[in-house]
Amino acid sequence: MKARFFELAERLGRMPKPGETLLCEFSGERSDFVRFNRGRVRQAGSVEQGYVSLRLIRARRQASITLALGSEDFEASRAALDELRGVLDDLPEDPWLLFNETPYSASSERRGRLVSAAAATEEIIAAAQGQDLVGIYAGGTICRGFANSLGQRNWHEVDSFNFDWSLYLEADKAVKGRYAGFDWDPRALEARVEAAAQQLAHLSQARRTLEPGDYRAYLAPSALEELTGLLSWGGFSARARQTKQSPLLRMESGGTLSPKVTMLENTAEGMAPGFQGEGFVKPARVTLIEAGRLRDALVSPRSAKEYGLMPNAGREGPEALELHAGGLQSNRVLEALDTGLYISNLWYLNFSDRPAGRITGMTRFATLWVERGHIVAPVTPMRFDDSIYRMLGENLVDLTRERELLPDVSTYGERSTSGSHLPGALISSLKFTL
């Protein structure tokens, strides 16, 4: 794919007329997909696909088109380029247009230790023996590329897998799990399925209904992912800060989270490419929150142009979010929780007071009541409504030493390269309203 894209970009790069600049983006993958139901294969298949987006720029005007790579790559692309040229004069000037005019070329290929889809399937079925497992496995190589008529060439290629699954008991009772990474390990898979099976056994007990109020709680990494995902809706955006729409607005005027909270956009160790569609190369790391205090924003080229900043991102939401680990050992979570709620997942999250960083949402899947370090009963779904300044601020007891890689499981159109690397969080008090 790399050679094919760069050859096409080289030929197209000779076609712009004086005053024109051509930007080319590539997005492709070679992926296997296997869908499971009742612990058996429901559907399996493989995908190899590639798309090229062409953007022609002239006199602060731009037009773009996306094409699927096929047997007539150059002819189709040349015709598309002529089409773009024909519409440029009819378009208004874009006042916030900014693209990299100082070529910087780089290539990154991260090889993983993946097994074939057949081998992964056999190991998943073996691990799920006797369980009603439902889920989807996606694994293979994801590619991203950039080239322009100024001579810049960038390439990103990563081998990864993601197995997103649940163990189902009955009705609405299930335990959700995820196993993802760059190196497949059947022992790690077995351990995760076994841990989920132990939680599933607790769901067969009678549910306990708790009264609204404040409860000590542990948020597993997947639950914490929902919180950080909602914060990413403007919380780290330069534009949101400039327009005072950030849910972390109070942090701009001195509000803080716990000193235990340090968040990074860690592109160097994530799955997302280190460059973006305007040709700017991203920093290896951007510190978003350091020891509880707000630091740098994610700045897109358009925001950079509008507000006089330096671009450091494509879109202004994290694609490789990392939260530093704490000191709590994962195998001692129940002991540290003592009495309270063990929350595996959250859903339906939204802001109940965006400027104040207040979030509401529901518990989901395995939410368990714990007494004196022992699981007692599953809990009926509950709604929480609390401030991020309490959850990750004054009420944060600790974060776990162990963290979990949580890729975006979206496969709509193509596999996503976004993801998070998160610990679990022990909270002294979480406010439930229903």
Query: For 247-258, what is each residue's pLDDT tens digit?
Result: 999 999 999 999
Rounded distance between C-alpha atoms, residue 133 and residue 43, angstroms:
14
Give the pLDDT confidence of 403-425 residue by residue, as tens digits: 999 999 988 899 999 999 999 99
Rounded distance between C-alpha atoms, residue 324 and residue 260, angstroms:
8
Rounded distance between C-alpha atoms, residue 90 and residue 336, angstroms:
65
Q: Which long-range contacts (CB under 8 A, 24 or more apart) does 281-285 make?
A: 281/100, 281/104, 281/106, 281/154, 282/312, 282/313, 282/314, 283/312
At CA 414, angle to CA 185 and CA 189, rounded to 5?
Answer: 15
- Enumerate the domain spans of the chain: 2-118+138-162, 213-432
Structure tokens at 209: 């209904």
Rounded distance between C-alpha atoms, residue 34 and residue 187, angstroms:
20
CATH 3.30.2290.10 fits domain 2-118+138-162 = yes
Residue segments in the chain with a per-residue pLDDT below the cut of 70: 71
Contact present, 251 and 263 (Cβ < 8 Å):
no
Q: What is the pLDDT of residue 412?
A: 86
412 by Cβ neighbours in 10 Å (0-12 / 13-18 / 19+) ranks as: exposed
Partners of residue 67 on adjacent β-strands: 52
DSSP helix/strand/coil, 254: coil
Name residues whose C-beta falls within 8 Å of residue 7's C-beta, 6 or more positions apart in sequence. none
Positions of E strands within 151-212? 153-170, 173-181
Contact present, 85 and 56 (Cβ < 8 Å):
yes
Rounded distance between C-alpha atoms, residue 271 and residue 419, angstroms:
7
Q: What is the pLDDT of residue 281?
A: 96
From residue 374, give the alpha-carbon distance in Å to each of 38, 39, 337, 338, 400.
30, 29, 9, 8, 18
Q: Which helix (H) or strand (E) holds 75?
A: helix 73-88
Q: What is the pLDDT of residue 70?
A: 77
Rounded distance between C-alpha atoms, residue 120 and residue 160, angstroms:
13
- Phi-psi category of residue 310: left, alpha or beta, with phi > 0 → left and psi -120 to 50 → alpha: beta
14 by Cβ neighbours in 10 Å (0-12 / 13-18 / 19+) ranks as: exposed
Rounded distance between C-alpha atoms, residue 256 and residue 252, angstroms:
9
Encoded amino acid at 217, one letter: A
Q: What is the pLDDT of residue 6?
A: 95
Contact present, 25 and 5 (Cβ < 8 Å):
no
399 by Cβ neighbours in 10 Å (0-12 / 13-18 / 19+) ranks as: buried
**Dihedral sign computed on CA atoms, order 99, 101, 102, 108:** positive
Q: What is the pLDDT of residue 73?
A: 82
Q: Which helix (H) or strand (E) holds 287?
A: strand 286-290
Taking every pair of C-alpha atoms in the chain, what is the biggest distance, in angstroms?
74
Encoded amino acid at 212, one letter: P
- Count of residues making up the chain: 434
Name residues whose C-beta falls within 8 Å of residue 303's C-beta, 6 or more positions apart in sequence. 96, 237, 238, 239, 242, 309, 311, 316
Query: Which among 36, 55, 33 is positioned nearest to 44, based on CA atoms?
Result: 33
Q: How many helices (H) and strands (E) does the chain have?
A: 9, 20
Rounded distance between C-alpha atoms, residue 250 and residue 351, angstroms:
15
